[in-house]
Every structure is written in structure tokens, then in C-alpha cells.
Amino acid sequence: MMWQDLVFMVGSGLSIVFLAPTLRDASARVPLGTSLPSMGIGFVYATTFFTLGMTFSAVGAFAAGTMWSLIAVFRSPTSRQFISSIGLDLFAADLQRWLGRRRADPAFTEQYVSLEHDQGHQQGHGNTAD
């Protein structure tokens, strides 16, 4: 590993540490004019580092770009409008409902009728027109 690869990876890691509070703070508002260019730069750096064989730097830059993407989606003043316009709120509601059902439903095997029960049911209510 080149020492420069380590330096760039540590720098990206620090930026992630410093951006985490912004992502966790529900009242934070970061304009798209800040987050989108930063996201783009992170992804371009990741690609550049990867093509130079600097894998650790590429992973760090990609992680920083991803962090900026999350900030753009969740902490932009227009994020609610953006999320609604692409249907992410509906997807999140469906996912939450599905997870709630999975936790509340009876055992997986209880969802199906047993073969023995089904055969007994058919024999008892067979066609008597013969």
C-alpha cells in the first residue's frame, strides 16, 4: 500500500465522522447546492482512485460520496418534496407495514393448510350425485 492511499482513506474517514452528526440531526437542513456537488466529487474521486489502483482511497471516497447522497436525500430543505415525487415515502410505508406484518404474523407454517386436512375435507364433502 502506498502511504498516499492511507492518507486519502483517513481523510475520507474523517469527513464521514464529521458528516454523521448532520445526518443524524433531524432538524439539519443542507442545501442541495452544497450536498450534490460534494456527492459528485466523492464519486468522481472514488472512480479516479480506483483507476489508479488506490483501493482504500477509492472505498473512502465512495463512502464519503454516499454520505453526501444521504444528506442530499434526507437533510435537504426540499427533501420531503423530493422523496414524495419519486415515491420513496410510499416505499418506506410499504416496507414498514410489511415488516410489522412479519413480526405480528403467526408462524410461517401456520399460513398453509396441511395435506392431511385437505384430503379429509375432500373425502367428507365429495360429490354424492353418483
In this prediction the pTM is 0.60
> For 86-103, how does the pLDDT look when each residue is reduced to its tens digit (9 = 90+)?
666 666 777 777 777 766
Show the cell assigned to 12: 475520507
Q: What is the pLDDT of residue 64?
A: 96
- 54, 44 Cβ separation under 8 angstroms: no
pLDDT at 3 over 60: yes
pLDDT at 44 over 90: yes
State mean pLDDT over 43-57: 94
**Looking at the predicted structure, is the pLDDT value of residue 115 above 70?**
no
- 49 burial via Cβ count (<10 Å: 0-12, 13-18, 19+): buried
pLDDT per position as a tens digit, 6-31: 999 999 999 999 999 998 888 888 88
Residue 66, number of CB atoms within 10 A of its CB: 15
- Write out the three cell numbers for 18: 464529521
Q: Are 78 and 30 in contact (CB under 8 A)?
A: no
Domain boundaries, the chain: 3-124
Q: Which of 48, 72, 51, 52 is nearest to 61 (CA)?
A: 48
